[in-house]
Amino acid sequence: MKVETIEATKHKRMTKDPHGFFVIFLDQGRSEIVVEFYESVIKDEKSKKKVGTGKLGLVVCGTNAEALCHTISREDLVTRFDHASYLGRELQKAEVALRNGLKYEQDNEVVMRKPRKK
């Protein structure tokens, strides 16, 4: 049996999901991950330059990345595989940060604290 092996490479350009985008943050007061889904809104400037913003469509909250992913998928909020995989990565990072009392900032690495030397 021959199976091809290929090296993983990142996309050179990001393609926006036409459905919309997500803002993810931790609500430390309630110890929850909050995911805001914004439907894409395209504004046409007079210069013909298109700029995008979002209309808040749904807020999903929880503590478990898997449950958040399932809910988002059930709601048909994502139309691209790369967007879905991005969300999975971000939500897992958010869960790790929430569980370990770390700072989470969307699109940034979660900085792990080094264990104190005994």
Partner 1 sequence: MLYPWRGEFIIGSKDSQIAIDTLSSSFDFPKEKVAIWGQHKTENLGIEKIVANVVSNPNIRYLILCGEEVRGHRSGQSIQSLHVNGIDENGRIINARGAVPYIENIPMEAITRFQKQVEIIDMINITDKEQILAKIDELASEKKPSFGQPIVVQFVEREKTSQMKSLSGKISLHKDLLVDPYLDVEEMEVIT
To partner 1, the closest distance from the beta carbon of 86 in angstroms equals 18
Provide, rounded to whole angstroms, the least separation between the CB of residue 5 and partner 1. 27
Q: Which is nearer to partner 1, 25 or 86 (CB)?
A: 25
Long-range contacts of 87-92 (CB under 8 A, 24+ apart): 87/22, 90/22, 90/24, 91/24, 91/33, 91/35, 91/65, 92/65
| Shorter beta-carbon distance to partner 1: residue 62 or 86 | 62
DSSP letter at 63? S
- Decide whether 14 or 51 has the Cβ nearer to partner 1: 51
Name the minimum Å distance from CB 27 to partner 1: 5
Minimum CB separation of residue 66 from partner 1 in Å reads: 9
Nearer to partner 1, 70 or 89 (CB): 70
Which residues would be at the binding site for partner 1 (CB under 8 A)? Answer: 23, 25-30, 34, 38, 41, 43, 51-56, 59, 61, 67, 70, 73-76
Distance of CA 36 to CAs 8, 25, 110, Å?
30, 9, 20
- 36: exposed, middle or buried (Cβ count in 10 Å: 0-12, 13-18, 19+): middle
The DSSP H or E segment spanning 100 is helix 81-100
